[in-house]
Amino acid sequence: MFGYVRLYKPDLRMAEYEHYQGIYCSLCKQLGRSYGLLSRFTLSYDFTFLAVFRMALSDECEGFKKGRCLFNPLKKRTCCCNNEHIQYAADVASILMYFKIKDNIADRSFFSSLPARLLLPFAGHARKKAANKLPELDTLVKDCMQQQSKLESEKNGSIDAAADPSAMILSAIASDSANDENERRILERFGYCLGRWIYLIDAVDDLIEDWSDGNYNPFIYSKGISQDNPPDENMLQSLLPTLNACLAECIAAFNLLTTQRFDGIIRNVLEQGMPSVQQQVLAKKGSKHERK
């Protein structure tokens, strides 16, 4: 579910990439300070984008400075000065990662889920700390994940229903940075479409494996996939318009917002990075299908 909201580095200006890297490194440090060393390994591009996005809408920016990294102490790197948006992204990451680990345990056999089972106590401790700061979000995520589990147990074939829990979570997270009611409505839609896209690209990414292992995937039921009718290259490509529609709505909503900074970074992610991810996922799934 994590790691799909990425930059397209070849078309990003050097200064913008340095700013992005500075926020990425600062979020890693904040995770370590707030939730312990192991939490640093939960860092993903998605939560970096969340920090960038919130900072872009804020009237204030604490700026950047040079600092050393625990994993590369000999070289100073650009880091973002501590701010509430970095902390918020770390809190959200800790809540979502706990439920992601639980979902992985539920979806896999005992032995394949063993690493996740070992991480669960640490993730649970981090989630409890984060939930004290964001109790409403924690409750929402818990309710949405229960709804997701129910849909999966019912083998629901509706793409809209399957993507709705993830979309609702991202809608709440995005709208939490609103400065007024009008901006809140825009952000709710932006977050909803982004959450829907993340869920669907993850479902596409897992499709071949889910079909092979007999796991739930909404595309298996919506597209009539079975052991006698396996996913093929044409079927995979037919999923692209659905992904593009989500992405187009994200961009349309973002165009209604006023950003104070980092507009180039965000547009790079939405207009180039995420489409590139779509192409990579579909190409990878297509090659796996060929080998099968």
Q: Which carries the bigger pLDDT value, residue 272 or residue 209?
A: 272
Which token pair is 263? Answer: 């507009």
Residues ≥6 apart with Cβ < 8 Å to 76:
66, 67, 68
Which token pair is 177? Answer: 């940075």
Phi, psi for residue 257 in degrees, rounded to 5? -95, 155
Q: Which carries the bigger pLDDT value, residue 73 or residue 141?
A: 141
**Virtual torsion, Cα 119, 120, 121, 125, nearest 10 deg:** 110
Task: Summarize pLDDT for 28-57 with one digit per residue, the tens.
Answer: 999 999 998 888 888 899 999 999 999 999
Residues ≥6 apart with Cβ < 8 Å to 25:
67, 69, 77, 78, 79, 80
Do 77 and 22 meet the contact criterion of CB atoms below 8 Å apart? yes
What beta strand segments (E) does the chain contain?
64-69, 72-80
Do 130 and 39 meet the contact criterion of CB atoms below 8 Å apart? no
Q: Which carries the bigger pLDDT value, residue 73 or residue 208?
A: 208
Which token pair is 283? Answer: 């190409």
Mean pLDDT of 276-281: 94
Note the pLDDT of residue 285: 60
| Residues in a beta bridge with 64 | 80
Helix ranges (H only) for 214-239 are: 218-222, 233-237
Note the pLDDT of residue 132: 97
Task: Summarize pLDDT for 152-195 with one digit per residue, the tens.
Answer: 999 998 999 999 999 999 999 999 989 899 999 999 999 999 99
Q: How confident is the model at residue 79 (pLDDT cuts 50, 70, 90)?
A: confident
Tally of CA atoms within 13 A in the half-sphere of 200 that contains its CB: 28
Q: Is the pLDDT of residue 10 over 60?
A: yes
Q: Is the pLDDT of residue 290 over 60?
A: no
Note the pLDDT of residue 284: 76
Note the pLDDT of residue 50: 96
Q: Which carries the bigger pLDDT value, residue 201 or residue 76?
A: 201
Note the pLDDT of residue 1: 56
Q: Which domains does the chain have, with CATH numbers?
A: 9-291 (1.10.600.10)
Nearest-angstrom CA–CA distance, 19 and 61: 12
Q: Is the pLDDT of residue 22 over 60?
A: yes
Q: How confident is the model at residue 286 (pLDDT cuts 50, 70, 90)?
A: low
Note the pLDDT of residue 87: 95
Nearest-angstrom CA–CA distance, 214 and 212: 6
Task: Summarize pLDDT for 81-122 with one digit per residue, the tens.
Answer: 778 999 999 999 999 999 999 988 887 777 777 888 888 899
Q: Is the pLDDT of residue 148 over 70?
A: yes
Note the pLDDT of residue 17: 94
Nearest residue to 3 via CA among 24, 22, 19: 24
Burial zone of 182 (CB within 10 Å; 0-12 exposed, 13-18 middle, 19+ buried): exposed
262: left (phi > 0), else alpha (psi -120 to 50), else beta?
left
Note the pLDDT of residue 48: 95
CA angle centred on 45, ends 8 and 205, rounded to 5°? 80
